[in-house]
């Protein structure tokens, strides 16, 4: 077996040491740092992109929050305005209603007064008529001349009975 022939052992070991040492030093100092740089650069890039994506997401969330806030604010404002308008309208309506009520009351009371007045007038007329009729009747039946005062007194006494 040529492997066990010690003739070239020293040569094998010598060149192995030379080439392996060269390979080791070259890879250690040149190749591997290069690959490591590339990998690191890529990782940094990925991290950077990830962090910027996160930032953008946060910004988007902030904007969304702002929009929601504004929508809510607008809602509250509109609600207030609607309430205000409703209140104003209600006040308007109630004031108009109350003024109408007052008018009506006034008219009713006026009418009542007029009715009372006309009733009084009528009563006065009736009283006068009664007094006249009584005077005439008494005058016709008897000869007694009754003064107006006397007749009125009597009528006053009996007023309750013909009301």
Q: What is the dihedral of CA 51, 53, 59, 61, to 10 degrees?
A: -110
CB of 56 to another protein, least distance (A): 21
CB 131 within 8 A of CB 152: yes
Q: Does 37 bind another protein (CB under 8 A)?
A: yes
CB of 64 to another protein, least distance (A): 33
- Measured CA to CA, the distance from residue 124 to residue 130 in angstroms comes to 9
Angle between helices 148-162 and 32-141 (to 10 degrees): 130
DSSP letters along 93-152, please?
Answer: HHHHHHHHHHHHHHHHHHHHHHHHHHHHHHHHHHHHHHHHHHHHHHHHHS-----HHHHH
Contact positions with another protein (CB under 8 A) in 8-27: 8-17, 19-20, 22-24, 26-27
CB of 37 to another protein, least distance (A): 6
CB of 51 to another protein, least distance (A): 17
Q: Does 34 bind another protein (CB under 8 A)?
A: yes
Collect all residues with Cβ–Cβ distance below 8 Å to 155 and sequence separation of at least 6.
Answer: 127, 130, 131, 134
Closest CB to another protein among 49 and 57?
49
Closest CB to another protein among 22 and 65?
22
CB of 28 to another protein, least distance (A): 4
Q: Does 52 bind another protein (CB under 8 A)?
A: no
Quickly tell me which residue has 């890879």 as its tokens: 27
Closest CB to another protein among 37 and 68?
37
The site for another protein (CB under 8 A) is made up of: 1-5, 7-17, 19-20, 22-24, 26-28, 30-32, 34-39, 41-42, 45
């Amino acid at each position: 077996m040529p492997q066990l022939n010690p003739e070239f052992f020293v040569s094998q070991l010598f060149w192995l040491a030379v080439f392996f040492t060269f390979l080791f030093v070259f890879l250690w100092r040149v190749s591997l740092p290069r690959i490591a740089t590339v990998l690191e650069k890529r990782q940094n890039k990925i991290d950077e992109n990830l962090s910027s994506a996160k930032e953008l997401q946060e910004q988007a969330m902030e904007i969304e929050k702002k929009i929601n806030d504004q929508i809510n604010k607008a809602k509250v404002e509109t609600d207030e305005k609607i309430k205000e308008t409703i209140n104003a309208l209600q006040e308007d309506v109630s004031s108009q209603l109350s003024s109408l009520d007052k008018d009506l009351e006034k008219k009713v009371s006026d009418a009542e007064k007029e009715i009372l007045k006309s009733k009084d007038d009528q009563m006065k007329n009736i009283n006068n008529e009664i007094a006249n009729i009584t005077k005439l009747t008494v005058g016709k039946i008897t000869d007694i001349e009754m003064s107006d005062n006397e007749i009125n007194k009597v009528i006053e006494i009996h007023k309750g009975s013909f009301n």
